[in-house]
Structures are given as C-alpha cells and as structure tokens.
Amino acid sequence: MRVLAVVLLLLLSASPAHAASGTYLRIGHFSMDQARVDVTLDGAKLGTLDYAQLYDYRRVDAGDHVVEFRADPSSPVLRSVLVHAGAGKAYTVADLASAMKVIEDDVSLPPNGQARLRVLNAGDTEMDLLRGSVFVHRNVPANSVTGYAVMLPGADPLQVLPRGKDSTRLDATLESGAVYTLLVNARRIELRTDAKGAEVVPGGGQETGFGGMAGGWDWITALIIALIVGIAMFSVRGRLFRFG
C-alpha cells in the first residue's frame, strides 16, 4: 500500500514534457500587393486572408504540406510553399514582400519562469523594439523575423521605433512561461501569444488553463492512475472483509 501511494503521489505531481504535443501550422498574409488572398492547404480551401491577418494555429500531421495563395478561387496559384513539418514542431507561414517564408516557432518552455519574445516585421522600414527603456531588438530589417529574446515577465510597455516614422507604444503584459510574437505591419501592431507552458495557444491569446499541469495527462498516465487507485481500493476492501 505504501508503494502504491508513493507511485500515485509521483504521478499526480509530475509536470508535462516541455515540448508541444502535436504538430501545428498557421498562415499569415503580410504582402501589400494583394488586399486579400484565397488560401488552400494541401488542396483544401481554408478561406480568405485579408492583409495583415494571421490565422490561428491548426493541428496537422507531421510531414510535407503545401500552402497556396490565389487572388481568388478561380485564379491560378499566385505563390506557394512546401512546409516540411516535423513531429512536435510549430510553424508560421508568412507571406512577406510577395514571397512565402516558412518560420519555425520555438514554443518550448522558456527557462527559469521567464517569457520569450520575437518580432515579425512586415513593415516597409527597419525598426527597433524597446521594452520600457531597454532595447530588445535593434535594426530589425523590413520583411524579416528576429530570433527570440528571453524576457522577465511583467507589464512594461513595448515601444516600436520605425525609421523615419512616429513611434508606437503598446501596453503589454508578458506572462511567465509564455512565448510571444510581435506582429508589425502597415496596418497595425499586434502582440500574439503563441504558447503557454510549452503548449500552443490555438486562439493566439486566449487562456488555455496554463498551470502546473498545462497540457493535461496523456491517456496512458490516466490509465495507470486508474489501475493504481483500483488496486488500492480492492486491497483496502479485502482488509475490511478480513477483519469484519
């Protein structure tokens, strides 16, 4: 009984693996040559994307996937890209300066309770990013994506400084264990929450119950726990009958 209790306690207190469960893909349109594009994934229509719009993550199988843009459903392919999706990875397909770019997203758990932040600069000019009074990313070229910067959690405002243009301030709270992408384009600046607790956020900012057990147990762990509890209850019941 003591052994069973110890095993059960260890299982209940175990944290999930620090990697995304599943393979994920999202698609964004940031080229100003088209106000709207028709999107297909592996030949299946997903819908339309307006300029500066980024779809939420969708779960896909590991392997190769083809993303195609058309000006409208009856038009020939405007541009396309092949995504080699690895198991447990997350990807953003971004249409930048009339070219499709496949970006691998690091949704793993940031170290030591910190957060992770990068910039996707789809604007037409180089820019800097400050948090409070500290530079986070410098000289970010137009139509490019930065690497990730590890940040302390907190509510310090973000400030975008594009060359030759007015700066923009964005009030933003970075949470412990979260991963973010700052989208900068000619229409708006948007902070997207990519992941929390090493699990992607499908709605790009909606809460997913992140906490000590973010991501939940898999079915094997749940089955083991159920068996242990059942054996323990049977053992206790046997002792009660023996002494009754």
Contact status, residue 41 vs residue 69, Cβ threshold 8 Å: no
- 102 and 209 in a single domain? The answer is yes
Q: Token pair for residue 37?
A: 């594009």
Instruction: Pick 239 or 39 by higher pLDDT.
Output: 39
159-185 burial: b if 16+ Cβ within 10 Å, else e:
bbbbeeeeeeeeeeebbbbbbbbbbbb
Q: What pLDDT score was predicted for residue 214? A: 33
- 207 and 222 in a single domain? The answer is no
- 2 and 77 in a single domain? The answer is no
Q: Which of 45-49, 203-207, 215-219 has the highest mean pLDDT?
A: 45-49
* CA dihedral over 105, 204, 153, 13, signed as positive or negative: negative
Could you tell me the pLDDT band of residue 237, with boundaries at 50, 70 and 90? low
- 125 and 205 in a single domain? The answer is yes
- 93 and 211 in a single domain? The answer is yes
- 57 and 145 in a single domain? The answer is yes
Domain count, the chain: 2
Q: What pLDDT score was predicted for residue 226? A: 54
Quote the domain boundaries for residue 159: 17-216
Model confidence pLDDT, tens digit, residues 60-111 = 999 999 999 999 999 999 999 999 999 999 999 999 999 999 999 999 999 9
Could you tell me the pLDDT band of residue 198, with boundaries at 50, 70 and 90? confident
- 10 and 89 in a single domain? The answer is no
- 7 and 75 in a single domain? The answer is no
pLDDT at 15 over 80: no
- 224 and 169 in a single domain? The answer is no
pLDDT at 140 over 80: yes
Cα gap 191→172, rounded to integer Å = 8
State percent of the chain over pLDDT 90.
73
- 9 and 56 in a single domain? The answer is no
Say what the pTM is: 0.75
- 79 and 178 in a single domain? The answer is yes
- 139 and 43 in a single domain? The answer is yes
Q: What average pLDDT is seen over the chain?
A: 83
